[in-house]
Structure 1
C-alpha cells in the first residue's frame, strides 16, 4: 500500500487529467451544438466571411499573385495551342498549312510543314498527347522521297531545324534519322560554280535550280541556313554540311557592295556577286543574315572572330544609316536606305532586332546594344498598341516631320497581320535578361488581341487583312506554320519565369525558333 502522500498525488494527477480531457470534449460538443443551432443562412455567411478573409490574405501576397498570374498566362498559351492544333488535326492533318475559315488545307511542299514546325513547341509546352500523335505521323507517314521542289531556306529552318531541335530535346533517334534524310537531300543546292546555293531543290530527283524568273538568291536565304547544317555535321560526324554553308559565309564576308557592314538583298548564284546594289534593309530578304552572324558566333562558343566582326560592323552601320526618331513620340525606328535616300519604312520582320541585340549584350557585347534593344522593343510594341485592333501591320511608315499627330502610318496594302512572331520573340529576350514585367504585360495584351481578332471558333487562327478595322479585320483563311512553331512558343517562354526553360546559356534559337545546343568547344 502506498504512503498517503504518494496516493494523494497520484489521485490528484488522474483527476486533473480526466477533468481537462472532459473539458475539451465538452467544449467541442458545445461548439458543435451551437453551430448546428445556427440557421443555414448564418452558417453560409460565416463560411463566406472566413473564405473572404483567406482570399484577401492570399491576394495581398505579391509572390502568390505573380505565381497565379504566370500560371494563368502559361495555361492560356497551352489552350491557344490546343485550339490551333484542333483545327489542324480536324481539317489539315499531315498537310502543310491549315485554312481555318474554309476548314481545309493548303500545300507548299507537301511535307506536313505545320506538324514538323510544331514538334518542339509541343514538347516545351508539355503537351504529351499531341506530341505523341505527331511523332506517330512522323514515324509512319513522313517521307522525303518525293518529286517535289522545296525552297532551300524554308525547308532548312522549318523542317531540318524542327527535326534537329526535337531530337536534342527528346533524345529520340527517329528525329535525327529524318533530319539526316532531308539534310542530305538538300545538298544539291550547293552545286554551283560560285558556291552560293540555288534557292530551290527537288528532294526526290536530287536536282537544284534558281527560280524561273531570276538567277539570284536572296542574301538572307543563303546566309540563314548555317546553324542547322553546322549542327547536322556535328551530330553525324560528316563535315560536308558545315563546309558547304561556311563557304557561303566566307564568300559573303569578302564581297564588295556593303555599306558600313550592311548587305544588299540579292546575290547571283552564277558569279557569286551582290545584285540590286545600293538598297539596304533589315526587313525581308536581308533580316536573318544579321541574326545568324551573331548566332553562329554563339553556337561555335564565341571563337569565330570573323562572324563577330561582321556583326559588330553591321550594328554600327544600322546606327549610322538606318536609325531615326519618329514624331511626336520620338520612337526609335529602323528605316531603309535606297541609293542614298532614306525611307521611314519598317517591316514587322525588323522586330527580331531588339532580341538579337539583347542576346549579344548578354554575351558581353557593348552595353549600348541593350539600350538600343530597349528603345526598339518599345517601338515594336507601339506598332501593335497604336493600331485599332492592337495588332501590328506587316509594314509601318514612321512620321518624322514636325507637327505630325501620330507616329505610325499604314498603307492599305500593308495592313495585314500574318500572326508573325518577331515582336513576341524580342519581348521574350528582353524579359529573360531584364526581368522587367512590362514585357510580359505587353505580350499578354498581344495574345489577347490575337484571340479577339484572329481566333476561329471551329479551330485554328487566321491571318487577317486589316489591323485598322476592328469591325471588319477580314480573315485571310490561312494559319502559317510559324504560328505554332514560333509565335506561341515565344509567348510561352515569355510568360515563364524559369530561366532554365531552354536556357540561353545552353541553346541558341534558329530563325524559326528551334533551339539548337551551343557547342561546348569550337568544332
Structure 2
C-alpha cells in the first residue's frame, strides 16, 4: 500500500478514530521505554545463564564472591529494609546471595568514607599507620577488570558433628591459602578478586601470620612450603619502614609461637633478628617508642603528621618482647617494654583506670585527654594488662591492679543497655559526653573477661562476659548478611524499633576475629554449645558472602546488602592468623589443644607459653 493510499484512508477516519489510534501508539511507546532498562540489562551481560546438571542457574559475571545460589532470586525492591530484630539462635538464613553489580563499587565506598571526613591513617587495633603505607583493596579499574570464574560448591555442614566442622575450617584455610599461593606468594596480602597482591612492609605478612595456624590445623604440606620460604627467602635486611606494633604482633609473635609449637630454631633465629631490628623504636626522649622503624637502617620515627603514638600500640608489644628475652637470655627486650608499662602506670590523665588514646613520644604524657574507648587505639592495652599478669605466673600485681581498676571504670562510665532488647554494650566517653558507639574490636572483651574469671578473678566478670557475648553475636545476627559491621551505634531511647544502627561508612566487614575469639573462650570455659552454634553461623556467612571462587576470601563494604555486599578485594593476614584459628579451636573437643592453663594468646592469636612458676 502506497503512502498516498494511507493518507487517503487516514483522512477518511473520524476525529475520534484518529485520536484513539494516536493514543494507542503513544501508550505502546511509553510502555516500551518503561521496560527498556530491564531488557538492556539482560543484553549487557550482567548475568549469564550457566548450564548445570540440575538446571540453569543465574550467575553474576562480576565480581565473583561465591558460592553461587542454587536458583535465580528476584531482585530486591529499591528501598533497603532495616535490620531485623534480635535473631533466634541457629536461625536459618538463605543458601546464597545474588550479587548485584554496580558500576564502581569501590569508588562508591570511598565516597561514603569521605562523607564521614577524611582520615590521615588506616588503623588496625589502634596502630597509627600512614595511609600510603598500607595498600587498600580494590580500585575502580580493578573492579572493571574482574573476570568470570567457575563456581565453588558449598557443602552444608549444619547438622554435622564437630569433626566435620573442623574439616570445614580446614577447607576454608586451604581455599584461602590456594589464592595466596597462586596470586600473592611471599607478599603481604592477597587481593583475591583482581588475582593480585598488596604490599605493606614487603615481609610476607600473611605467610608468617599463618604459620602456627597451619601447624595447629595439621596442614603439614602447606606448613613445609611456608617454612621453606622462611628459610630461603625471608630477609629483614631491607630498607623499609615497618610499624612497630603490627610487626611485633604479627611477625615477632608469629615466629615465637611457631618456634614453641615446632621446636625448630629457624623460627627463633628469625624472631631474634626482627626483634633486634625493632629496638631503635625505643630510642626516644621519653622511652615511649616511636610508631615506625626502618629495619634496614636501624632508625625510627613517629608518623609524619604527629609525634604521638597510640596507647594500644605501645602497650601491646610486651608479651612478645618479654618472651624474646626469656628465650635468648637478653634482658634488653623485656627492659624496654617493661619501662613503658611502668611509665603508663604512673601517668596522670586516666579516668577510673581508663586511659586516653594517645601518648606523646617526646614528653611521655597522654595527649587528647578526656576521650576514652575500648575500641581502636586503646583496646589491647586492657587485654595485655591481664595477659602479662597471666604470662608472668600471676606475680606482677601492679598489672592486675590496673586491669581491675580499668574494668570498674568500664562499668561506671561505658557500660549501658540498648533499647528495646536491653543488650549490654560498651560505649565511648568524650569530655563527659557518652556516645553509644561500639567498634567490632571491642568484642575482644567477652573473651578477656572470661579468661580472667578462669584465672581466679571475680565471678561477675564471667557474667558480664556472657552478656557482652550475646551483644557481639547480635551485631552479626541483626545484619542482613549475618556479618557484623566495623562499627555500630546502639539505640538507648525508649520506643526504639531496633537496638542497632549502622552508618553508611561503617558497614564494612574486614573478616575480623574478635567475636570468634571470644566465642572460643566462652565455649572453652562454659561448654555451652550455643557459642559453637553461633560461630558456625558466622563461618557459613563468611563462606556465603566473602568467599572468592578462584581462591581466598575478601573483605566487603556493605554487610547490609546481601544482594551485593560490594567486595573490597583484600584478604587481611589476620583472617588466616586469627579468625580461622579461633574457629578451629572453637570447634575442637580437645581441651588440651593449646590449654589456657599453659598458653596465653597474643593479640594476633599467636600462643605463647605461660612461664613456669619458678621463673
Flag whether TM exceeds 0.5 (same fold): yes
Residue 497 in 1 paired to residue 594 in 2?
Answer: no
- Of 500, 514, 518, which residue of structure 2 is paired with 1:422? 514
Higher radius of gyration, 1 or 2: 1
Partners of 1:456 and 1:158 in 2: how far apart? Answer: 24
Mapped partners of 1:521, 1:497: distance in 2: 28
2 CA distance for matches of 1:276 and 1:72?
49
RMSD (Å), alpha carbons: 1.1
The residue that corresponds to 2:398 in the other structure is 306
1:521 shift after superposition: 2.2
* Pairing partner for 1:175 from 263, 267, 271: 267
TM-score of the two chains, using structure 2 as the length reference: 0.74
What does 1:34-73 correspond to in 2, within 5 Å?
A: 69-73=161-165
For residues 469 and 152 of structure 1, the distance between their equivalents in structure 2, rounded to whole angstroms, comes to 36
Alpha-carbon distance in 1 for matches of 2:158, 2:175: 26
Other-structure match for 1:216: 308
SS in 1 for 2:470: helix
2:469 aligned residue: 377
* Mapped contact 1:199–1:210 kept (Cα < 8 A): yes
Within the candidate set 540, 544, 562, 1:470 is matched to 562
Deviation track 1:435-479 (CA, whole Å, cap 9, x = no partner) reads 000000000000000000000000000000000000010000000
Report SS of the residue matched to 2:600: strand
Task: For 1:366 and 1:318, locate their aligned partners in 2 and report how far apart those are by CA, in whole Å.
Answer: 15
Structure 2 residue 589 is matched with structure 1 residue 509? no
TM-score, normalised to structure 1, is: 0.87
TM-fit CA distance, 1:342: 0.2
Structure 1 residue 328 and structure 2 residue 416: aligned?
no
Unmatched 5+ residue regions in structure 2?
1-156
- Corresponding residue for 1:318? 410
Relative contact order (C-alpha < 8 Å, sep 6+): which is higher? 2
Q: In the alignment, which of 164, 171, 183 is matched to residue 91 of structure 1? A: 183
Q: Secondary structure at the match of 1:397?
A: strand
What CA deviation, in whole Å up to 9, does each residue of 1:478-517 have, x standing for no partner?
Answer: 0000000000000000001110000000000000000000
Q: By percentage of residues, which structure has more helix?
A: 1
CA contact (8 A) 1:261 1:314 kept: yes
Contact 1:300-1:522 within 8 A present in 2 as well: no
Tell me which stretches of 4 or more aligned residues in structure 1 moved more than 4 Å: 65-68
Aligned to 1:130: 222
In 2, Cα distance between the equivalents of 1:519 and 1:66? 40
Report the equivalent of 1:43: none
Aligned position for 2:17: none
Structure 1, unaligned runs of 5 or more = 1-64
1:77 matched residue in structure 2: 169
3-state SS in 2 of match to 1:420: coil
* Contact residue 303 and residue 522 of structure 1 kept, 8 A: no
Shift of 1:193: 1.1
Task: Supply the distance in 2 between the matched residues of 1:291 and 1:308 (Cα, whole angstroms).
Answer: 11
Distance in 1 between residues matched to 2:435 and 2:380, nearest whole Å: 20
Q: Report what 1:148 is aligned to.
A: 240
Q: Does 1:343 align with 2:435?
A: yes
How far apart, in 1, do the equivalents of 2:509 and 2:350 lie?
31
In the alignment, is residue 367 of structure 1 matched against residue 459 of structure 2? yes
Counterparts of 1:330 and 1:498 in 2: how far apart (Å)? 35
Cα displacement (A) at 1:68:
5.3
Question: Helix, strand or coil: the match of 2:412?
Answer: helix
- The count of corresponding residues between Structure 1 and Structure 2 is 459
Paired residues of 1:393 and 1:467 also in contact (CA < 8 A): yes
